[in-house]
Structure 1
Amino acid sequence: MAAAVLVTWGWGPWVALPLWLFAVFVLQFFRDPRRVLAEGQDAVLCPADGRVIMVGPAEDPYLKRPAIKCSIFMNVFNVHSNRLPVAGQVRRRWYSPGRFLNASLDKASEHNERNALWITTAGGDDVVVVQVAGLIARRILCYVGEGEVVDRGRRYGFIRFGSRVDVYLPPGAHPEVALGDKVKAGSQVLARLAGRDPRVQ
């Protein structure tokens, strides 16, 4: 932005127009608005802004179990700050280097650069949330590590320039989004957990 101001002052606004457009793009891309979090003890929050591109049964590649998979695709105009879908303890974190295919493709979940967190809730449910880099994304940021106790809706990461977030839920979870829905991180419910008796091992 400083460069845009200097060029405007020295050579005029028309010469500086490309710099102003770039400055506006950067400001809107890195915005991180406050959100009022959706309520409900069994609520799994949407971890990202964007469009739902997958809802249905899948194999969780991290916990090696059947799961309900929900995927949200973020284009360059969406907010790219990611929020934790559930509260609990981070049991494990996986980082996998990879390719930069279009994040809207199913194979991006398997082949692209990604960062996964396994979170166990107080009720004993295991949820895996995965940040997946996209076609022009070149950096995944994650601010939490193994062993941390985290709150639902907390900002936990950021993916730069077009990407997706995959959430693997227990088989008994009930999705509250449908294919094609546009969602907002934190303020909308992705699914409801069926719950599990913590006394049962």
Structure 2
Amino acid sequence: MLHFHKEGAKTILGACLLTVAIVFAADYFFKENFWLLKTVQIIALVFLIIILQFFRNPNRSIRPEDRTLVAPVDGKVVVIEEVYESEYFKDKRLQVSIFMSPINVHVTRYAASGKINFSKYHPGKFLVAWHPKASEENERTTIVIETQEFGEILYRQIAGALAKRIVNYAVEGTQVVQGDDAGFIKFGSRVDLFLPLGTELNVKLNEVVKGNKTIIAQKS
């Protein structure tokens, strides 16, 4: 059964009402022009399908495993490199960035179980999500989870050129479970993971990953 994320409820309702209105209005105004009528109605239905697929939330329940980090989102690995993380750790970390196109599932899930040590929202720009400066200049949220096997890991939700709202469920001091919903980013975005140096990765550059399915890293 197809499920939709709760963050899309208002948008989906609005899109349904708008589609119905357009279909009936087209039937009234263009009833003497069959091809124009059908073109307008098809465009309206395609618009609704795009909205529905964007907010889909496939059921991907998992059994939490402390020795693994799972992909927090669907998308493509666009960055794997050692970088200086300046906001929280203030030292070098291994960055793994996953880019989400508008057709990807945009639910963010916790990559690991643990305690939320840090959660902060930053207003900012809306550069394209793959821009090198997007991680520091775009609207974003930074969350740090203290895990049992990997120590502290940081993930950053980053808005893209089309994304105008980031939803973050992480609250400092709370315990979270690997695989549970961590938030949502609307319309094209990116998630950066910052891991301890020396973390052995199970993914490579340009690999397509799936949230709660693909293992990003695993302790032996």
Q: Does the pair score TM above 0.5?
A: yes
Partner residue in 1 for 2:209: 183
Q: Distance between the aligned counterparts of 2:174 and 2:158, measured in 1?
A: 21
Of structures 1 and 2, the one with the larger relative CO (CA 8 A, separation 6+) is 1
The alpha-carbon deviation at position 56 of structure 1 amounts to 1.9
1:35 is the counterpart of 2:60:
yes
Cα RMSD between the aligned structures?
1.8
Shift of 1:38: 7.3
Consecutive unaligned residues of structure 2, counting only runs of 5 or more, are 1-15, 28-36
Higher share of residues assigned helix: 2
The alignment's TM-score, normalised by the length of structure 1, stands at: 0.90
CA distance in 2, matches of 1:76, 1:27: 12
Task: Say if 2:66 and 2:148, in contact at 8 Å, map to a contact too.
Answer: no
Whichever of the two has the greater Rg, that structure is 2
**Taking structure 2 as the reference length, what is the TM-score of the superposition?**
0.82
Q: Which moved more, 1:123-132 or 1:2-11?
A: 2-11
Residues 70 and 29 of structure 1, relative CA distance in 2, 3 Å threshold: same
For the residue of structure 2 that corresponds to 1:174, the secondary structure is coil
**Contact 1:36/1:187 (8 A) holds in 2:** no
**Which residue of the other structure, out of 117, 125, 140, is the alignment partner of 2:151?**
125
Instruction: Tell me which of 163, 178, 202 is aligned to 1:137.
Output: 163
Distance change (3 Å), C-alpha of 1:137 and 1:6: closer
Larger displacement relative to structure 2 (37-46 or 178-187): 37-46
State the SS of the aligned residue for 1:167.
strand
Q: Judge conservation of contact 1:90–1:149 (CA < 8 Å) in 2.
A: yes
Q: Report deviation, 1:122.
A: 2.6
Asked if the contact 2:117/2:173 (under 8 Å) is kept, the reply is yes
Deviation of 1:7 (Å): 4.0
Tell me the alpha carbon deviations over residues 34-92 of structure 1, each in whole angstroms, 9 at most, x when there is no partner: 11437743211111100000112111222112111100000100000011111100001
Give distance in 2, aligned partners of 1:107 and 1:38: 36
Quote the offset at 1:193 in angstroms.
4.7
Count residues in correspondence: 194
User: Is 1:54 aligned to 2:79, yes or no?
Assistant: yes
Aligned equivalents of 2:131, 2:219: Cα separation in 1: 27
Return the letter of the residue paired with 2:57: D
**What secondary structure does 2:179 align onto?**
coil
One-letter code aligned to 2:72: P
Deviation, 1:106, is 1.7
Q: Which residue of 1 aligns with 2:92?
A: 66
Q: Which amino acid in 2 is paired with 1:113?
A: E
Matched residue type, 2:78: I
Secondary structure of 1:21's match?
A: helix
The AA in structure 1 aligned to 2:19 is A
Provide the C-alpha distance between the structure 2 equivalents of 1:92 and 1:136, rounded to a whole number of angstroms. 26
Q: Which moved more, 1:6-15 or 1:61-70?
A: 6-15
**Residue equivalent to 2:107:** 81
1:100 alignment partner in structure 2: 126
Against the structure 1 CA distance between its residues 124 and 105, is the aligned structure 2 distance closer, same or farther, given a 3 Å change threshold?
closer
Aligned residues with identical type, % of pairs: 35
Secondary structure (helix, strand or coil) at the match of 2:19 reads helix
| Offset of residue 152 of structure 1 | 0.6
